[in-house]
Amino acid sequence: MKTVKEIALKLENRPGALSELSELLGANGINILALTVITQDSEGTMSFVASDPSRVVNILESAGYSPAIREIIAAEAPHHPGGLNAILKPLKLAGVNVQYLYAFLGLYGSGDRSIILLGVDKLAVAHDALAKEWIRLYGEELYNF
């Protein structure tokens, strides 16, 4: 089953917190490929996919962070009006709940495609539903984009 590792960590909701994390990862040669940040009051959660997830965890733990790892789906959606539904409709029909989604930050020469990262309640069911519909799914090869 093709999945990617998402790293999530709690951050203090204050000016500079994201910059410090970005600087730490960049100084260690880590590329953030996709991310989402949600804040509530004095705390935020950053969830992201990076170029070397195992190394990222080591770097973060060494710097005093407590990262969590989760397997998520990385699926290619056609880049046109309604293209996102090529992913969402098979999940709906399979009874999979999409808990959150966000987009890949950049894909050189992508042209007519987008990569969507999805946290779902039934990972294996989601994978099979999308694969059955010939949706391109990404695994570890995504880390090298």
> Do 75 and 140 sit in the same domain of this protein?
yes
> Do 14 and 52 sit in the same domain of this protein?
yes
> Do 140 and 87 sit in the same domain of this protein?
yes
Q: Is residue 80 within 8 Å of 89, Cβ to Cβ?
A: no
Whole-angstrom Cα distance, residue 114 to residue 24? 28
Residue 13 amino acid letter: N
> Do 21 and 76 sit in the same domain of this protein?
no
Q: Is the dihedral of CA 135, 138, 144, 145 positive or negative?
A: positive
Q: 5-64 pLDDT, tens per residue? A: 999 999 999 999 999 999 999 999 999 999 999 999 999 999 999 999 999 999 999 999
Any idea which residue has 């989604």 for tokens? 101
Whole-angstrom Cα distance, residue 56 to residue 85? 32
Q: What's the domain range around 32?
A: 4-70
88, pLDDT greater than 60:
yes
Q: Which two tokens stand for residue 71?
A: 């397997």
Q: 104-126 pLDDT, tens per residue? A: 886 655 556 789 999 999 999 99
Any idea which residue has 């733990």 for tokens? 61
Q: 72-87 pLDDT, tens per residue? A: 999 999 888 888 999 9
> Do 46 and 81 sit in the same domain of this protein?
no
Beta strands in the chain, from DSSP E residues, in sequence order: 4-12, 32-40, 43-50, 68-78, 98-103, 113-120
